[in-house]
Amino acid sequence: SALPRLSTNYFYVPSGPFPLDPGPESVFQDKPAFPFGGAGLVMSMRDYDRFLLMLMGEGAIGDTRIMKAETARLGMSNLLPSGAETAGSLIDGAGFGAGGRVTLKATPGGSGAGTFGWGGAAATIAFVDRANQVRAGGYAQFMPDQTMPFTRDFAASVYRSL
């Protein structure tokens, strides 16, 4: 098991980072009483990158099919009803698929239409942009993520580097 390698989650305070959830004693070392959204997705960066690679491959990694291509495409599509209001929400101006934000219109020099991804509570963010063949993940492990520009600027930094 990789649990002994679980990273520490930090909380930012004016004096500097404070270990909020030390990896060796993390609340994520124990299985939750029941599964629920927001309970925390815990895995290695490598495993999450392989998940992104599988989404990029519409359900396959190389010659290995994990799920039907139609299932992957449906999950990464906008599942909101036409006319759903998203202003002021975490997905302002975007759609929502099966657990992630969906870019509805391409951004010049940035994400393509259909880009799918989401951010986590501890300044983590990941996305797949099949239109531009880009996948990226950033995992900073600090809260609240609004104290630093990491998650806000991550995607723009990725596209500037291409």
The answer, yes or no, to whether residue 18 has pLDDT greater than 70, is yes
96: which residues sit within 8 A by CB, 6+ positions away?
A: 78, 79, 80, 86, 102
What ranges do the domains of the chain cover? 3-30+41-160
- Rg value, the chain, Cα: 17
Residue 83's Cβ-count burial label (10 Å; 0-12, 13-18, 19+) is exposed
Cβ-proximal residues to 20 (8 Å cutoff; 6+ apart), any chain: 8, 9, 10, 11, 143
Using DSSP, state whether 112 is helix, strand or coil. coil
* Cα 66 from Cα 53, distance rounded (Å): 11
Give residue 38's pLDDT. Answer: 66
| Structural contact between residues 98 and 74, judged by C-beta atoms closer than 8 angstroms | yes
pTM for this structure? 0.88
Cβ count near 107 (within 10 Å): 13
pLDDT digits (tens, 9 = 90+) for 42-78: 888 999 999 999 999 999 999 999 999 999 999 999 9
**Which residue type is seen at 151?**
T
CATH top-level class of 3-30+41-160: alpha beta
State how far the alpha carbon of 144 is from the alpha carbons of 10, 95, 103, 121, 162, in Å.
9, 24, 24, 7, 29
The answer to which of 36-45, 138-147, 148-157 has the lowest mean pLDDT is 36-45
Structure-token match 């942009």, residue found: 129
24-40 average pLDDT score: 79
CA 149: distance to chain centroid?
16
